[in-house]
Amino acid sequence: MQIPNNIVHFAVGNPTLYNKMIPDWWNHYKSSQDKTKSYEFAKVNDKGELITFEEKEKQITDAIIKEAMKRTNVPYLAEAPADQIFNHQGLRNEIFAVVASIVDMIIPQTLIDSISLYSDVRTIGFGDSAQFDVESNDLFSVSQIGRGQRNSLAYKQFMGTKTIVPVNHALTVYTDLYRVLSGKESLAKLVVKVIRSMETAMRNDVYDAFAAMAAALPTTATTGLQVAGYSQDSLMRLCEQVTAWNNGNKAMIVGTARALVNVLPNDANYRYTLDDPYMTLGHVRTAFGYDVMELPQVANHDTEWALKIDTDRLWILSPASQKFVKLVLEGSTLSITDSVYENRNLIQRATMHKAWGVGIASNSLAAVITI
């Protein structure tokens, strides 16, 4: 896992937490969530004994608290009773600062894993905006002229620029710090939920921008990039168009499993066996000379039991060409915590502020089929 520069700076003095413990714990978590992929993580401890994910959660929680204690630079905290620790405002602030640093470390990697097929992720400093240059993929016109003419029509290449300004987003969580410090509540579980919540919000913004771009594609009968109704002929035409106009970068057919099951020949006389990829994967690996890739479906938490990615869309993309969507992350995650006795029930709230922006900036061509 690549650690961002701001986290490297933040981690000075305790690189083990960020270089070893957190990547190992996060890979263990991902392995428990996704059995189809292989993740590297420690299965035994230094004594050769099996180590469970629950034990790693406890270790991460303890490590976060110890890191926060060290960063407060108050030596007596290490041996202080729980009541003194609980009343130390600096420690409370540092605990959630460490949590925010872990969020910043993991989120870019999870985003790359889920949306890199059609989007780029860029990190900028506080108060900055991101500019993306977009070149036209048109060519200059070559014209016939007389031998006695010096010049033909003159052309110049102009660069387009897309500016994306991040917008602040906030997530407020609360926990009973006394229960955390006494080992009754897990900071590691809180970190997981914060990461998943923020990553989902960013990913949904990226997908919404991508879907809106696809919906705006032209629908002209013979050359349009948006077709209603699947047919082998339409799929082949769009794959050829996308490949040709993306400078030869070969197109790929992309969609959810429910959409890809429709990618079959027009001829109904084909046969397949029970161990055929169409049965084992739910779709073919290649179709008519073009690779087929499944987009994992995700939950749409805005509507109960709904799905986020359209199941009636086949997208034709060139992954090797310029990505369509740009996701810009501004600075690091800021954490704001309550004072010691601000709330009557002594619950401790922390608000995580993270700014990001999403936009379309690409000269790459895409197409879509609505099944």
* pLDDT (tens digit per residue) in 108-133: 888 888 888 899 999 899 999 999 99
Please return the burial class of 164, using the count of CB atoms within 10 Å of its CB with bins 0-12, 13-18 and 19+. buried
Nearest Cα neighbor of 259 from 297, 218, 215, 213 is 297
Spatial distance between the Cα atoms of 314 and 230, rounded to a whole number of angstroms: 9
For the chain, what percent of residues have pLDDT higher than 90? Answer: 35
Element (H, E) at 164: strand 160-164
pLDDT of residue 78: 60
Q: Which two tokens stand for residue 367?
A: 């197409």
With residues binned 3-state (H G I as helix, E B as strand, rest as coil), the percentages for the chain, rounded to 5, are 35, 20, 40
Spatial distance between the Cα atoms of 97 and 302, rounded to a whole number of angstroms: 29
pTM metric for this prediction: 0.86
Q: Say if CB 148 and CB 169 are below 8 A apart.
A: no
Residues 292-310 have a mean pLDDT of 90
User: 330-354: per-residue pLDDT in tens?
Assistant: 988 988 887 766 767 667 788 999 9
**Confidence category of residue 366, pLDDT binned at 50, 70, 90:** very high
Q: Which two tokens stand for residue 286?
A: 């290649």
* Sheet bearing 367-370, strands edge to edge: 226-228, 367-370, 313-317, 252-255, 290-294, 286-287
Tokens 């705006």, located at residue: 216
Q: Which two tokens stand for residue 27?
A: 């890979």
Q: Say if CB 314 and CB 253 are below 8 A apart.
A: yes
Spatial distance between the Cα atoms of 329 and 109, rounded to a whole number of angstroms: 13
DSSP 297: P
Q: Which two tokens stand for residue 69?
A: 């204690």
**121 or 35, higher pLDDT:** 121
Spatial distance between the Cα atoms of 233 and 245, rounded to a whole number of angstroms: 18
pLDDT of residue 84: 66
User: 82-114: per-residue pLDDT in tens?
Assistant: 666 666 777 778 888 888 889 999 998 888 888
